[in-house]
């Protein structure tokens, strides 16, 4: 009925503005009708109406819903042609395209929109898929310890590596916090972040530490600050308050368990700790080259990166620098 009224308005020479389109787009989201929402976005552009952040948020939210739906016929696939496990889904592509429109229009996206886009780039938690990712980089290991090999995969087998670039860009726009590797321990505060942003933020820290280790530096401890919730319970001594892990804390802890990265503490306490030695062992897992006919030629991302950084360090010390 609302769409009919909009067409009637146009027939009378009354053109809708961005408020009208935002209301129609929100109604489309409530009905989970992405096709109508995309049609409205196209109509708004034809009418010379600048799309609003609400309109973009509705479209990206519906793309995420389709990516996350277990029954979806268009589940996110992975492109394994390269060492980059890239999410190959029309819904993820649609979300990225709309998000790029936001940036190009010089509109500052909200933290909610950023988290939704990152969610579209999340890789399925299917264990068999993670084994395929490990096999794709040409290594093998004891199956009981294969989760430790996640550190060798770009994106750690959790997110499309493009998610890191999105987070860094959002930080430059002031939407997300900058990732800092300063301090000992390094403090990773995700209390105010949403789930997907918190996970990618933590993985970005791990990526930075991976580079530091490849350069020969010692790894510090990691302190992760999480949000907690409180609730009242009745006990034999009366009513008392207890802390419960929030949704973000539960998600971060589950992420670490999937990665096989041991941590100390409990998410319900609001902080967990990862030892620097445990980090080092996780980033240097024991493995063997599974590439037939090429014994001893395995070169993981980490070892290649280490050689490149060592080469740069020698050039800096010797003064042989080049901008080519």
User: How much is the pLDDT for 71?
Assistant: 53
Q: Is 214 within a domain?
A: yes
Q: What is the pTM of this model?
A: 0.81
- The range of the structural domain enclosing residue 271 comes to 127-157+177-289+299-312
What pLDDT score does 319 carry?
53
Asked if 73 and 201 sit in the same domain, the reply is no
Q: Which residues contact 208 (CB under 8 A, 6 or more apart)?
A: 179, 181
Q: Name every residue whose Cβ is closer than 8 Å to that of residue 200 and which is 6 or more positions away in sequence.
A: 118, 159, 163, 164, 166, 167
Residue 114 and residue 149 in one domain? no
Sequence-separated (6 or more) residues with CB below 8 Å from residue 107: 53, 56
The CATH number assigned to the domain holding 44 equals 1.25.40.10
Question: Residues with Cβ < 8 Å from 157, sequence gap 6 or more?
Answer: 85, 123, 130, 133, 134, 150
In a domain, 318, yes or no: no
Q: Which of 104, 123, 142 is the last residue of a domain?
A: 123
Looking at the structure, do residues 83 and 150 belong to the same domain, yes or no? no
Residue 82 has what pLDDT?
52
pLDDT tens by residue, 108-128: 999 999 999 999 999 888 777
Tell whether 72 and 133 lie within a shared domain: no
Co-location of 114 and 136 in the same domain: no
pLDDT tens for each residue of 214-266:
888 899 999 999 998 878 777 777 787 777 889 999 999 999 999 999 999 99
Q: Is the pLDDT of residue 278 over 90?
A: yes
218 and 181 co-located in one domain: yes
Residue 301 has pLDDT above 80, yes or no: no
166 assigned to some structural domain: no
Instruction: Specify the number of domains making up the chain.
Output: 2
Residues 60 and 209 in one domain: no
Same structural domain, 64 and 83: yes
Q: Are residues 22 and 84 in the same domain?
A: yes
C-alpha span between 282 and 302 (Å, rounded): 12
Confidence of residue 153 (pLDDT cuts 50, 70, 90): confident
Phi, psi for 47 (deg, rounded to 5): -80, 0
Nearest to 29 by CA among 21, 41, 37: 37
Q: How many residues does the chain have?
A: 324
**Do 150 and 77 share a domain, yes or no?**
no
pLDDT tens-digit series, residues 242-253: 778 899 999 999
Q: Do 101 and 232 belong together in one domain?
A: no
Tokens representing 75?
């589940």
């Amino acid at each position: 009925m609302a769409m009919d009224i909009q067409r009637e308005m146009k027939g009378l020479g009354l053109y809708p503005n961005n408020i009208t389109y935002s209301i129609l787009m929100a109604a489309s989201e409530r009905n989970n009708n992405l096709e109508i929402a995309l049609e409205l976005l196209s109509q708004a552009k034809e009418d010379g109406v600048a799309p609003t952040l609400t309109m973009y948020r509705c479209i990206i939210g519906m793309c995420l819903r389709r990516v996350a739906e277990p029954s979806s016929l268009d589940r996110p696939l992975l492109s394994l042609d390269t060492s980059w496990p890239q999410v190959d889904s029309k819904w993820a592509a649609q979300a990225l395209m709309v998000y790029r429109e936001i940036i190009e229009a010089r509109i500052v996206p909200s933290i909610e929109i950023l988290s939704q886009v990152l969610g579209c780039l999340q890789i399925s938690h299917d264990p068999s898929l993670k084994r395929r990712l490990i096999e794709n980089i040409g290594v093998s290991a004891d199956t009981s310890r294969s989760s430790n090999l996640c550190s060798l995969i770009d994106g750690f087998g959790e997110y499309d590596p493009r998610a890191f670039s999105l987070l860094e860009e959002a930080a430059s726009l002031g939407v997300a916090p900058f990732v800092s590797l300063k301090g000992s321990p390094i403090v990773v505060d995700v209390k105010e972040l949403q789930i997907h942003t918190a996970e990618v933020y933590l993985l970005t820290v791990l990526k930075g530490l991976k580079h530091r280790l490849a350069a020969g530096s010692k790894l510090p401890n990691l302190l992760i600050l999480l949000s907690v919730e409180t609730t009242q319970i009745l006990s034999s001594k009366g009513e008392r308050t207890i802390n419960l892990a929030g949704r973000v804390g539960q998600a971060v802890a589950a992420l670490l368990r999937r990665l096989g990265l041991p941590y100390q503490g409990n998410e319900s306490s609001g902080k967990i700790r990862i030892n620097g030695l445990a980090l080092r062992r996780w980033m240097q897992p024991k493995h063997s080259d599974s590439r037939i006919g090429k014994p001893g030629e395995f070169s993981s991302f980490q070892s290649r990166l280490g050689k490149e950084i060592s080469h740069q360090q020698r050039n800096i010390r010797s003064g042989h620098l080049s901008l080519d």
